[in-house]
Amino acid sequence: MSIRSETLAGAGQLGAFDLRDPPDLEGIRACVHCGICLPQCPTYRVLGEEMDSPRGRIYLMRAAAEGRVGLTPTLVRHLDLCLGCRACETACPSGVPFGRLLEATRGQIARRAPRPLGERLLSGALLGLLSHPKRLGWALGAARFYRQAGLQRLVRATRLLAPWSRLRALEALLPASPPGGDGPLPEVLAARGKQRGTVGLLLGCVQRLAFPQVNAETARLLTWAGYEVLVPRDQGCCGALHLHTGRIDEARALATHLLARFGREVDFLVTNSAGCGSAMREYPHWLAADREVEAFALKVRDVSELLAEADLPLRRLDLTVTYHDPCHLAHGQRVRLEPRKLLAAIPGVRLVELADSDLCCGSAGVYSLLEPEMAGRLLEWKVQRIAATGAGVLATGNPGCLLQIARGCRERGLAIEVLHPVELLGRALPETEGIE
């Protein structure tokens, strides 16, 4: 720490930051500016600007921490453009915890560099909608009416939303068909055959309403794998979206609530949403690091990790499939092999590797709605690579990626099904009369 920043820290500040969840100076200083991360950064690949690379953003964080620069609009803009995909962490030989540094810095910006009223209202509205299942359910009901009444065709034909890029991005993400599903899952689902253990299932916010069939298939597959599945009724949001946008106190409150809802002893806490799983594994960093929080985080598993160990009786599906790595599964949780292993295990499936499979699709939580231009450019790259595989199915394990990539395929007229891996596995399982 420099003399300048030591003096400021003694006065209750760390340069431009206060001492309430500041970015860790040791983490910042771990960056040796080698540049290995640059080719892995989506925004650097698009813009070619040093300050829109992980190395450049680390430089800005350090300058702010040492009091050499304030939380200026220029600094804020470079950090806003970051997707938080954490590809730089995978590439970094020094172990720089970029995701935590970014979230902490965004927390400082949220409190110390107030944004224009319109931006604050939009961000708050998105988080208030996406993290509250009841509100999101009403919104999806309105979206169904919007499509079925012909309003969507009218709006698109008249280009009514042309002046508002963020509204266009939101409208474009609407699913092409209503979500499937047979209502809420039971609170307890018995294991089939010999029981291997008990798991708690996180339903997620967007997942449970936009893709309820994913949760249903997750539960069914886990019971076939020998797990009793517990589905707490009053579980809420995990706080991932709030954490990524710098609303750290709100993320903590949501995380604390979620911890209390999974009170019964379970062997694992299962997610089928990459962003949720990554955030839950980070709870000990953001909450009081007691035994309960650490034990919770250690039990978090992506569904693919458990199913990859199971011997499922899969039937033949003659399909060509490619796989997109969700950022917070590949880079946040370091889970890459298991989803591919599951897909390749389905008889008849030909798994084709996707070029730049772990390059962000542009979804990144609410990023595609706040930064639609950059998100659109990344989506175009992703769809071009998907088209080049010749696959009939694109599998990916995160609801944001499912929505974003499906949108890109629709807009390009690409005839490809976009599915969660558990949906393909569910098709290959013997049919049953619902979940037992």
250-264 mean pLDDT: 90
Q: Does the global pTM surpass 0.75?
A: yes
| Structure confidence at residue 162 (pLDDT) | 75
Q: Is the pLDDT of residue 2 over 80?
A: no
% of the chain with per-residue pLDDT over 90: 73
Q: Is the pLDDT of residue 247 over 70?
A: yes
Q: Is the pLDDT of residue 310 over 60?
A: yes
% of the chain with per-residue pLDDT over 70: 94
| Structure confidence at residue 436 (pLDDT) | 45
Domains in the chain, please, with CATH? 3-112 (1.10.1060.10), 319-428 (3.40.50)
| Structure confidence at residue 179 (pLDDT) | 63
Q: Is the pLDDT of residue 280 over 60?
A: yes
Mean pLDDT of the chain: 90
CA–CA dist 140, 76 (Å, integer): 32
Describe the strand order of the beta sheet including 349-352 as a list of residue ranges: 349-352, 319-323, 393-395, 417-419
Q: How confident is the model at residue 434 (pLDDT cuts 50, 70, 90)?
A: very low
Q: Is the pLDDT of residue 354 over 60?
A: yes
Q: Is the pLDDT of residue 425 over 90?
A: yes
255-266 mean pLDDT: 87
| Structure confidence at residue 216 (pLDDT) | 95
Among the ranges 138-142, 168-172, 382-386, which has the highest mean pLDDT value?
382-386
CA–CA dist 254, 249 (Å, integer): 9
| Structure confidence at residue 7 (pLDDT) | 40
SS3 assignment for 400-426? HHHHHHHHHHHHHCCCCEEECHHHHHH
CA–CA dist 80, 288 (Å, integer): 28
Q: Write out pLDDT tens, residues 8-33.
A: 445 578 899 999 999 999 999 999 99
CA–CA dist 88, 188 (Å, integer): 40
394-406 mean pLDDT: 96
Q: Is the pLDDT of residue 178 over 80?
A: no
Q: Write out pLDDT tens, residues 203-234.
A: 999 999 889 999 999 999 999 999 999 999 88
234 touches 428 (CB < 8 A)? no
SS3 assignment for the chain? CCHHHHHHHHCCEECCEECCCCCCHHHHHCCCCCCCCHHHCHHHHHHCCHHHCHHHHHHHHHHHHCCCCCCCHHHHHHHHCCCCCCHHHHHCCCCCCHHHHHHHHHHHHHHHCCCCHHHHHHHHHHHHHHCCHHHHHHHHHHHHHHHHCCHHHHHHHHCCCCCCHHHHHHHHCCCCCCCCCCCCCCCEECCCCCCCEEEEECCCCHHHHHCHHHHHHHHHHHHHCCEEEECCCCCCCCCHHHHHCCCHHHHHHHHHHHHHHCCCCCCEEEECCHHHHHHHHCHHHHCCCCHHHHHHHHHEEEHHHHHCCCCCCCCCCCEEEEECCCHHHHCCCCCCHHHHHHHHCCCCEEEECCCCCCCCCCCCCCHHHHCHHHHHHHHHHHHHHHHHHCCCEEECCCHHHHHHHHHHHHHHCCCCEEECHHHHHHHHCCCCCCCC
| Structure confidence at residue 136 (pLDDT) | 84
DSSP strand pairing (188-189 vs 300-302): unpaired
Q: How confident is the model at residue 6 (pLDDT cuts 50, 70, 90)?
A: very low
More confident residue, 141 or 434: 141
| Structure confidence at residue 177 (pLDDT) | 66
| Structure confidence at residue 435 (pLDDT) | 47
Q: Is the pLDDT of residue 197 over 60?
A: yes
